[in-house]
Amino acid sequence: MSIRRAAFGTAAALAAAAVLLSACSSRPSDGAAPSSGEPVTGGRLTYALTTDPLSFNPSGNNAGNDSWTVTRQLFDSLLYLDPNSKQLEPWLAKSWSSNADATEFTFELRDDATFSDGSKVTADDVKATFDDLVANKAKSPGTASFFTGYASTEAVDADTAVVHFSTPNAAFPVNTAGVMLGIVSRSTTTIPYDERATGKGVVGSGPFVLQQYTKDVSTTLVRRPEYAWAPAGFATTGAAHLDAIDFTVVPESTVRSGSLASGSVDVINGVDPTAVGELEGSGEVVTRSTPGYVNGLYFNVSRPATSDLAVRRGIAHAVDATQIRDTAVTDKFTVGTSILSAATPGWADESSSFGFDAAAAGRDLDAAGWVAGPDGIRVKDGNRLSLKVIYMNTSGQTQSAVEVLQQQLRTAGVELTLSGGAAPDFLAKWQSGDFDAAWIAGGASDADILRTVYAKSGTNFYKVDDPQLDELLTRQLGTSDQAARFGLLADVQKRIAEQYYQVPVYENTGLVATTKGVHGVVFGADSRPDLLVGAWKDPA
């Protein structure tokens, strides 16, 4: 067994599959708000979210960025992925190692970390957390693929946990840095999984603790004065500067922006890209290019129309991604060139498969047997080419994007029925399979996110049954050589593009806005709002 404290930085780059990861840093970067003066201890930060967090269980079904903004403050991870260096660093684990074939990982825990109930963080808690995640994988589809080949976790002693896999899982160390694999106390795992969503009895070791929650209204977290083990990359590794964080749910983008301008809130998620200039006039806008899979149309290939490659290809050629980008967001966002954003390690340029071409779209749809009906919508065997598209309408830009998409495809003879909803509604439809395509994007630190999206061992809500793709996704997971792994990931992206399982439109850019008196609000490696241990406010 070889210790890989520094070498695991290489392994992280090689394996780097930090799916839905929320890693953290307070050092200056393109993802940190400018800071001035000495940090001030005390005060409350008022933070406006776009939607209710839905779950305070770190691995539970939740509202995405808004949920992880909250749960990141409550739960620590074994390791930390620095967003600047892209290297793994210690957190709850002070060191870690792997065997040669990436089937056994040993984590040596620091001996001073405690949960908010005062109990010590031990290897038994690590074992309980991981065993519980595997036992409840059907209720936590986003984490299931992290544990592909999981055999067991062994608590060798109080400070040593060894995680065993039956097949190589080179991505596992990086995945442990995500909030979804945040360590919970053993007592938490005795609570029925679904009941943990309210946060009652759920115990973490983070710098804040849940004090109050009113569904769809507000959440209050208070500072843990004894906290002293934030990752070394933070300007503050001890207790948080803030006394408390008050999260409030403000669904309307214009209301969030107005609240920030008036000073009634200090920070907002869900920044409207078209309002960036205005917000910069009254405060700071923290930005970071987002790794992961891009905004676009993701086909459910089990449905009659979208099971046909020619139909999917025709729809892809009918999409003018630049027009959608320019209408929904701004040219600060990059038009997608692959299912992955260019900020993702392992990205490959597949732009030659895409691009607006009305004539090609018509030829493909004609070849598939869909001909224009009296109202212009194509028909085949008496059925209209009408597709149900689901999306989460928690932002104005998403609504604009799908409406422009609807108009573009209408011109090509494809009817879209738009089915937007809040996070719970979208998640229910997404998991049920009751849709022809989904408009969605997902943050991740590396291309292994595609295994979660499309592999049989992942969520695969799009019902893709492609042995060639599945083999490539499995092989990249077990490959420790960076060049070889990136070659396999390029093949993965080529296969997805050739089969038109999705249509890339534009890449995400993380946006959070603050008032001028707020400092230390940062993004993690996945471009999500991060640990707020170093955040502080100017004196009133």
Q: Mapping DSSP to helix (H, G, I), strand (E, B) and coil, where does residue 505 land?
A: strand
Nearest C-alpha neighbor of 496 from the set 526, 459, 462? 462
Q: Which amino acid is at 65?
A: N
Residues 6+ apart with CB under 8 A from 359: none
Nearest C-alpha neighbor of 176 from the set 235, 244, 90? 90
pTM recorded for the entire structure: 0.76
For residue 484, give the CATH number of its domain: 3.10.105.10
Residues 414 and 526 in one domain: no
Residues 133 and 95 in one domain: yes
Residues 208 and 81 in one domain: yes
Residues 471 and 381 in one domain: yes
For residue 76, give the CATH number of its domain: 3.40.190.10
DSSP secondary-structure letter at 220?
A: E
* Pairwise CA distance, residues 120 & 95, whole Å: 18
* Pairwise CA distance, residues 245 & 48, whole Å: 10
Question: What is the number of structural domains in the chain?
Answer: 2
**Phi, psi values for residue 310, rounded to 5°:** -65, -35
Residues 283 and 383 in one domain: no
Residues 358 and 442 in one domain: yes
H-helix or E-strand containing 124?
A: helix 123-135
* Pairwise CA distance, residues 79 & 71, whole Å: 16
Please tell me the predicted confidence (pLDDT) of residue 447. Answer: 86
Residues 237 and 334 in one domain: no
**What are the C-alpha distances in Å from 159 to residues 123, 124, 287?**
5, 9, 38
Residues 364 and 488 in one domain: yes
Please tell me the predicted confidence (pLDDT) of residue 13. Answer: 34
Please tell me the predicted confidence (pLDDT) of residue 14. Answer: 32
Question: 426 is written with which tokens?
Answer: 């979208």
Which segments within 224-345 are labelled E, that is strand? Answer: 244-249, 267-268, 283-289, 292-299
Residues 271 and 302 in one domain: no
Residues 465 and 520 in one domain: no
Please tell me the predicted confidence (pLDDT) of residue 362. Answer: 98
Please tell me the predicted confidence (pLDDT) of residue 150. Answer: 97
Domain that holds residue 363: 292-507
Q: Mapping DSSP to helix (H, G, I), strand (E, B) and coil, where does residue 266 land?
A: coil
Residues 218 and 347 in one domain: no
Residues 501 and 518 in one domain: no
CB 257 within 8 A of CB 60: no
Q: Mapping DSSP to helix (H, G, I), strand (E, B) and coil, where does residue 282 land?
A: helix
Please tell me the predicted confidence (pLDDT) of residue 9. Answer: 37
CB 17 within 8 A of CB 175: yes
Nearest C-alpha neighbor of 330 from the set 283, 280, 282, 293? 280
Question: For every one of its 540 residues, what pLDDT tens digit does the chain have, with 9 covering 90 and above?
Answer: 333 333 333 333 333 333 333 223 333 344 555 555 799 999 999 999 999 999 999 998 776 789 999 999 999 999 998 888 878 999 999 999 999 888 999 999 999 999 999 999 999 999 999 999 999 988 887 788 889 899 999 999 999 999 999 998 888 998 899 899 999 999 999 999 999 999 999 999 999 999 999 999 999 999 999 999 999 989 899 999 999 999 999 999 999 999 999 999 999 998 988 888 889 888 899 888 788 999 999 999 999 999 999 999 999 999 999 999 999 998 879 999 999 999 888 899 999 999 999 999 999 999 999 999 999 999 999 999 999 999 998 778 899 999 999 999 999 999 999 999 988 899 999 999 999 999 999 887 778 899 999 998 888 999 999 999 999 999 998 887 778 889 999 999 999 999 999 999 999 888 899 999 999 998 888 788 889 999 999 998
Question: 147 is written with which tokens?
Answer: 């544990």
